[in-house]
Structure 1
Amino acid sequence: MTGRFTEALLGARRPVIMELKRQDAEGRSLFGDRSVARIVTEYQDAGAPCLSVVTGRWFGGTRELLREVMARTHLPVLLKDFIIRRSQLEEAHRAGVSAVLLTASVLPRSTLDTLVDHSLRLGLTPFVEVASEAEIGRVPRAGECLIAVNNKDIATREHGAGDTGRSVSLLPAVVGTGTRCAVSAGGIHRPDDAARLLREGFSGLLIGTGLLRADSLPEWLDVFDRCRETAPSVRRPGGPHDHGHLEGTI
């Protein structure tokens, strides 16, 4: 049902979409000797509200990975791939996912409009990925979409560390669309950086490599929790969230 993914994220104690991605942009394994079943169990035990599964070939993804995850979880799942046709949405719907990635930078406006409309008709939440104010301005039916700022660059196949400053600078424009859920995605490795992005005003985060490379997922999340609880916050005057937006530093 449309909204299940968004509602799960907004209602979570830790609003982190935990991602399964076989390899990073440089082709290095992120799973190591861990099975899909083990990673799904670790994420569920950690209280993940939603999962993301990367099926794109840049990151070693396959449809079999999606099928295996779907068979092992009850959580809402985001399918991450380059979707450019309605038939791909219908395939995603048959697979049972709750949300689909739509990348604004690779979709003409008319195609993005069509894919958002078709996603919603199928009961899928459009997870629209943006990287500029121009792309944010092209998101149709934003109030029904989840809008995610990609901190990495598609043009370079997402090589490099990423820039979470992009998320911070674009947040006012994202919120201005009327979306219920603004997400910062990619390039989030440290738990203190993750906590800072939530304090800036993001509703959720999508983290893959940072969690998959953590020496201990429970310890990473414990630090994340402590940073959220203890970091000082101050009200940002005159900003887009002046009715309650808080900002702090670590």
Structure 2
Amino acid sequence: MSSRFIEALLGAERPLVMEVKRRDAHGMDLISGRTPADIVTSYEAAGAPCISVVTGRWFGGTPELLRDVARLTQLPLLRKDFITRRDQLAATRELGASAVLLTAALLPASSMRTLVTAALSEGLTPFVEVTTEAELAAVPHADECVIAVNNKDIKARERDPGDIGRSLTLLPALLETGTPCPVSASAIDTPETAALLLSAGYKGLLVGTALMRASDLRAWPKVPVA
């Protein structure tokens, strides 16, 4: 199955999945009086290949936010939420997403197999977040998935400072899965950290809070020139 989401990210000059979310992990407002249209326009101007939309209530999200963003852009969209049931996948596609977050730390291996397979059958790209090699081993159809290392602890509601070293340590195992698009996600708080991860071999980065607060999106790095 071809994936608009993966193709867009791999072909991007600035391979950042730029995120729209209302609140950070500590409940602080990130919108600051802007509209979704304001944010989407700024992301498109900065060359975003894809946009992540947080619909999870922990971060002030709603399904309607995804629908609103889908009406504003033709870019592939990722739905970020805690997806645990097959019926949520059909709803995700109907809201306008091209990809769907599946969090390995919250799903038994049997559920991960079911949801990855079902997502692919719905035409959605599974965006699978992992934190350990054991979680990696449970991901089926890795060659059709984005596999992302989450640098934060989802069980602490991502309120920890995060550990970029996790991404650097897990990258060889990530590449061995055959995923076409290894991604590092969360705790990427500066352009310098982003540049480090891209230079290490990541094909994409998911950045949320730092971009929502950034005054200059163009300061964030492009793909390193060989």
TM-score (ref. length: structure 2): 0.97
1:209-228 deviations in whole A, cap 9, x for unaligned?
A: 1111112223x33xx24x94
Match of 1:57?
A: 57
Q: Which amino acid aligns with 1:161?
A: P
Match of 1:140?
A: 140
Conserved? CA contact 2:19–2:206, under 8 Å? yes
Structure number with greater Rg is 1
Conserved? CA contact 1:2–1:124, under 8 Å? no
Conserved? CA contact 1:99–1:126, under 8 Å? yes
Conserved? CA contact 2:63–2:95, under 8 Å? no
Conserved? CA contact 1:2–1:120, under 8 Å? no
Report how far residue 67 of structure 1 moved. 1.2
Structure 2 Cα separation of the partners of residues 2 and 125 of structure 1: 9
5 Å-filtered alignment, 1:50-199, equals 50-199=50-199
Which fold has the larger relative contact order, with Cα–Cα distance below 8 Å and residues 6 or more apart in sequence? 2
Structure 2 Cα separation of the partners of residues 67 and 139 of structure 1: 28
1:26-64 deviations in whole A, cap 9, x for unaligned?
A: 000111111110000000111100000000011010112
Structure 2 Cα separation of the partners of residues 38 and 94 of structure 1: 23
Unaligned runs of 5+ in 1: 230-245
1:123 partner SS: coil
Aligned-residue Cα RMSD (Å) equals: 1.4
Identity over aligned residues, as a percent? 58
Conserved? CA contact 1:9–1:50, under 8 Å? yes
Match of 1:239?
A: none
5 Å-filtered alignment, 1:197-236, equals 197-218=197-218, 220-221=219-220, 224-225=221-222, 228=224
TM-score (ref. length: structure 1): 0.87
Conserved? CA contact 1:146–1:180, under 8 Å? yes
How many residue pairs get aligned? The number is 226
